[in-house]
Structure formats: C-alpha cells, structure tokens
A = this chain, B = another copy of it.
Amino acid sequence: MSDNLFAPQSIAIVGASNKKGKIGTIVTENILKLGYGGKTFLVNPSYKMLKLKRCYAALSAIKKPVDVAIVCVPAKFVADVVKDGAATVKNFVIISAGFSENGAEGAKREKELSDLAKKHKLNILGPNCLGFIAPNLKLNASFAGGLPSAGNIAFVSQSGALAVAIMDKAKEEHLGFSNIISVGNKMQLDETALLEYLENDQETKVIGMYLEGIKDGVRFLKAAKKVSEKKPIVILKAGKTAKAQQAISSHTGALAGSDEIMDVAFASAGIIRANDLDDFFNLLGLISFADAPRNGAAAVITNAGGAGVLTTDAFKGKEIALAEFDEKTKKQLADQLPGESSVQNPVDLLGDAGEERYKNVLELLNKKEIGSIICVLTPQEQTPVQKIAEVIVEAKKTNTAAIATVFIGGERIGSAVSYLKQNNIPNFANPDSAVEALDKYYKWSVSGKRGTSAAGKKSPQRKKRVTDIIAKAQDQKRGALLFPEAAEIMELYGINCVKAYAILPGSPVPEVAEFPVVLKIDSDKVLHKSDKQALILNIKDKGALLSAIDKLQKNFPGAQLVAQPMQEKQTEIILGIKKDDIFGSVIVYGLGGIYTEVFKMVDFLIPPMSVAEIKSSILKGKLKFLFEGARGQAAYDADEFAAIVAGLMDFALENGQVREFDINPLFIYNDKRKASAVDVKIIL
C-alpha cells in the first residue's frame, strides 16, 4: 500500500455535491472546510462549478496527479468510476454501500470491483466504509462530522457508527489520533494490510482496532507478530458468542471454543485484547500517554486509606505487583511524611495531604526501581485537587516510571482531571481499571521478540507417504484412516504408537507376541471405541483371541479388527488438531480420561512454533503440574511431550487436508517408560 493513500497531497471527491444531507455533500464539506492543505478536485458530471470550485465530469478529466479518490456515488456507478480513473489514480476510498453486505447483486458488484483492483494494481479501502481521517493533515475524508485532535493513536474500525461514537468520546478523554480508518467490507485493504501500513507510520504509537471478523487469520497473526514488537496493538474483538459450530466428530475439536482460540492466537502474536469498550479506551489512553512500565514493581500513593485498599485489591492475579519497600525507602518516606502516614506500599499521605506530600513522595520514588506509580486522590475538604494535579504533571517530566492517576469524584475533580489528560496523564475513575491497563501494557512490553517461529523441517518424502495413505482411504470411500495407517503416519512424525496387529476379514490371524491384548473394531463407522460392543479387553492367549475375533466379526460383519497389547495406564493425555475457521489448524492438548470436559485442563497452541517455544508453553500451561511433579509425584518428561506436540504441529502444517485429528488417549509415564498413543483418529 502506498503512503499517499492515507497522507495524500491531492484528493478527488467523486460524487461531490451540495445537496443537503447527501453523503457526497458531507464528504466535500469535511474535506474543503476543516483546513486540509492539499489539492482538491471535485468530480460530478452534473455540475460545472461547485462550492466555487471547478467540477470535473470524471476522474479522467482532471489531468493532474490525484493521490486518492473518495467515491460517494451510488453502488451501480462505482465500477465505472474506478475504470475511468484507474489509469491515473491508484488509491480509492469507496464510501458507497450496496456491495457484499447487500445480497447477491451486491456481491457481484464487489467481485467486479475486486477484479478491477487486481487488474490495475489499485489500493481500495471499503466499499461500504465511513472513509478515513488524518487529523494532523486536517483531513477528514469521511462522512463523520468534525475533526478529532491529532495524536499518536491509529484507530481502525470495522464499524463506522462505533468509530463516530469513539471519536466523540475520545474528545472528552483528550485522546488524539494519527489516523482513523474505517475498513467497511474489507474487500482488499483488510486489518492485515493496515497493520503493515501502520507499522512504519511514524506518528502512530499505538494501533487500536475494533474488529468483528478477521479475514485471513494466518496472515494476520504473522503481520501482528512483527508489528507488535515495535508498537502495541490493542484489539476490541466483537463476536465472542460462538456461532453454531459445524458438526464436530473429534473429541479435541469439541474442547476448543472459537473465542478461546482467539485469545490464544492474539496472545501468541503479542496483541493486547481489550475486555470491553471501557478497557479499550483505558488501554488506548494509557499507551498513548505513557511509556510502558520498565519493570513490574508498582507503587501506589493515596490520600485515602479506603481507596488505597481498593487499589491494592486490584493487583490480585496480576503480573505487576506492589513493590515491597526496603527499610531505607521506608525511613526516607517517614522523614517526609507526618507520623500517622503509612510508609508501606500503598503510601498513605493522609486525608489532609497537600500537594507537597505528593511531590516529595514522587521525587523519592523516582530514585527507586519502580515501573509504575498510581496516584490516588479523593477530594476531601482540605484537598488542593488542582495543585496536586500540577505536581503530578511536573513529576512526569523527570520520572522514569509510568504514572497514572485515580482521582475519584465528580465536580470537585473535573477540571483537574481534564488538566491531567491534557498533560498526558491517564486518569482512571476506577482503581481496578488502572491496574488492569498497566498490567496489560507491562505484559506487552516484556512479551519480547516473537518474530516468525521456525517449525520443524518439512519433509517431502514424509508428506508424499501421508498423501498416498490418505488417497488410498479416499479411494475406498473411508471417512477416517485405520489405526495401522494412522500409526504409520504418527511414527513418521516421531510419535510412538502402541503396537497394533491388523486383523482383516478372511485373512490369517497374525502371530501376536505379547498377551494380554485388547481387540477392537477399527472402522470410521465406529468412532467411540469404548462402546462395549466393539471392544474386548484383557484377552489372555491365542485361543481367547480367536474366539474374540469370531465374536466381533459376527457383531460387525466385514469389519477390520485390530489387536493391541494392553497398556498399563498412568496418566492419559488427549491431543489433536482443531480446524479453526479463522486461524486454520490449532493444536489442542490436555488431560484425558472420562472427565476431560469437566476438568477442562486443556490448552491451545497456534502453529508454527519451535520445539523450545512449545516446551515453554507447556510448562506455563494448565498441565504444568504434571511436568513440575506436583504433590510428591515424579515429574513427567516435558521434552518428550514437547517433541510429540511438535510432531503433531509438523503434521498439521504439512497436511492441511486432514479435517480433524485426535490422539486419545496418549499414555504418558513419569518412570522413564516411553509415551505412546493408544488410539489415533485421523478424519478426512
């Protein structure tokens, strides 16, 4: 995408008008009247002159460079406008509605538009969008009224109406924007393209996005990983409530909700997910105003004990924590403060605190290893609210910690809070919100280099063999692989399976070396093998095996059977691949057994990841108790398990055609015995 789409030196408005209430009129006025300094061209064949300017019949008539064309004509004329302009204009913002959001005919129009974009190598924002706003250029190329303040927040919105509301609220919060971009139908310029553009936009410190969907999850995560190393991405993702999922026949598939996968995917890319609209504003305000806390140690200073306790409570379950002051610090605080003050953290300055106490304590804390400072205030009779705001603003100039305030009240604090925000101090009406936002900002800052994880080496031979096995099953019109086939594939990916003897109808029974064995039906028709009809346990010798075979073959005529040596169970793991609509193959793993769904000790991983990253995730995940050795149990082997997951991830990356995949159970041991997959289900 070229820079001059969002920072144009010349703009044409196609569908410019002066009829009241028309979108073309609003856009024309927004561009002409708010101070934009670039060249502007009006296009509308119905006028010669408009707003005292020459009006062109078509883009092609302009004959001067046009960086971007804003198109507000009815949907049915849009393709003609683009065709006419494509030779000279490369960037289009299609505000017009009536495309894929609007039935089959609209979808056809959008397809035509998309083809034109490809053919002429155009950048198209929209269609069906609000437009964009670049406050620093005093450019409002949208049909939202007014001009927000210039600042360092880039805001990308999939909802125009919400963008209007957010801009209105942002004004109240003294937040400023580098860009506001409405993506509309995201026909071509989607969230990924905009991330890539904003990555290098010098004015943008933080990228905020309101998204209802993600167009290409894999591409999006890759871009987000890269961008979030440079600047925070805060996303308010709507649509948490799951759509009806397509029929799921694997067990792992049912364990993963799409919103949980969204959480994991965002975390894997260093994206900060906002809980709700309030959190979204809080995060944008904090990040816009403050640098990230340089460490996890926080200090709270307050003129009200109760508000201090509420703030302390807010640290529960967070990564940032109240610093423990050393004796020297406490002594220094005590020297500054009246005898009844608390020199613990929170520092209680007492109800009669003036600005000097805040000032002195802020100065003192500046010399300590503190990453963030929250200044709490309640407006008591003696409280000089404005003066305290002033010393906090002053302290920010030299303080290395991220400073936020929690001024609680209404009228008595109103103008001081405005003053704080005008001077880039984020104020939170609610202590919990302050800590929540600081914690997320801090976690983003330490989440470190992510880059693109290298998955294991791809192996064309291995992939060929898998393709052959699958092709054979498809030829035979089977919906799933047989266990010996699945086991062969697993071994190719380094996953050990329990030995299996295939017993084919009409073929001689193979020599079984180890008894006792379990005999079961191996068929995609019988998916729940624990079904007692399809399973005979604890077969002690060859004679018993033959009669068991007889019995099952009677129950399921023509079915293939499989005999496996009985395994001693220690701990059961379930793992598999879930196909997510957005992010593609997702690895699911967790504690198996009959209560898998009850305990929900399940985690998700988004490929690709290196074995080291996988291991580190496992050791931080819900199963860490196994690999740490909880309650006096010997630890299970994290390296072995990480290698198994890595094998599964390689399989997922190499074999996109597999719809669902379960290993259930995988037995793992903490006594040096090798982990082995007892059952593997590969659904085509």
Chain B residues with Cβ below 8 Å from A276 are: 310, 314, 430-433
Interface flag for A546 (CB, 8 Å): no
Report Cα–Cα, A173/B630, bound state, in Å. Answer: 51
- Assuming A351-B161, A599-B599, A630-B597, is B432 touching A277 (CB within 8 A)? yes
Q: How far is the CB of A33 from chain B (nearest CB, A)?
A: 15
The stretch of A111-119, A233-241, A265-273, A518-526 in contact with B is: A233-241
Q: How far is the CA of A159 from the CA of B159 in the complex (A)?
A: 43
Residue of B whose beta carbon sits closest to that of A432: B276
Given the known inter-chain contacts A168-B411, A170-B410, A277-B431, please indicate yes or no for A159 contacting B631, CB distance below 8 A: no
Pick 11 A–B contacts, CB within 8 A, sort by A: A143-B381, A158-B306, A162-B310, A162-B408, A164-B380, A165-B408, A168-B409, A212-B309, A594-B630, A594-B633, A599-B601
Residue of B nearest to A406 (CB): B277
Query: Which 3 pairs across A and B sit closest by C-beta, in order of nearness?
Result: A159-B306, A161-B304, A172-B410
Contact B169–A408 (Cβ < 8 Å):
yes
B625 touches A595 (CB 8 A): yes
A336 interface residue per 8 A CB criterion: no
* 15 extra interface residue pairs, beta carbon distance < 8 Å, beyond A162-B310, A169-B429, A276-B310: A144-B381, A159-B304, A162-B378, A212-B309, A238-B313, A240-B313, A276-B430, A276-B431, A276-B433, A278-B429, A595-B625, A597-B631, A598-B601, A598-B625, A599-B599
Q: Is A305 an interface residue (CB 8 A)?
A: yes
Within 8 A of B (CB), among A133-172: 143-145, 157-162, 164-166, 168-172
Partner of A239, one of B309, B314, B631: B309
Contact B595 A171 (CB under 8 A): no
A380 to B161, CA, bound (A): 6
CA distance A313 to B241 in the complex (A): 6
| B residues in contact with A278, CB < 8 Å | 278, 429-430, 432-433
Q: Evaluate contact between A378 and B161: CB separation under 8 angstroms.
A: yes
Please state if A432 and B275 are interface contacts (CB–CB under 8 Å).
Answer: yes
Show the binding face of A for B, using Cβ within 8 Å. 21, 26, 102, 143-145, 157-162, 164-166, 168-173, 210, 212, 236, 238-241, 259, 275-278, 303-307, 309-310, 312-316, 340, 351, 378-382, 408-414, 429-433, 594-595, 597-599, 601, 625, 630-633
A240 contact set on B, CB distance < 8 A = 313, 316
A430→B144 CA distance, assembly (Å): 22
- Are the C-beta atoms of B238 and A171 separated by less than 8 Å? no
Residues of chain B within 8 A (CB-CB) of A259 are 316
Nearest-CB residue, chain B, relative to A162: B306
Q: A341–B576 Cα gap in the complex (Å)?
A: 42
Closest Cβ neighbor of A143 among chain B residues: B381
Judge whether B432 and A312 touch: CB under 8 Å: no
**Interfacial chain B residues near A159, Cβ < 8 Å:** 304-307
A506 CA to B276 CA, complexed, in Å: 71
Report the Cα distance A161→B406, complex, angstroms: 14
The answer to whether B411 touches A171, judged by C-beta atoms less than 8 angstroms apart, is: yes
Are the CB atoms of A165 and B598 closer together than 8 Å?
no
Q: Which chain B residues lie closer than 8 Å to A378 at the CB level? A: 161-162, 164-165
Inter-chain contacts of A305 with B (CB < 8 A) = 159, 161
CA distance A220 to B315 in the complex (A): 28
CA of A378 to CA of B145, assembled, Å: 13
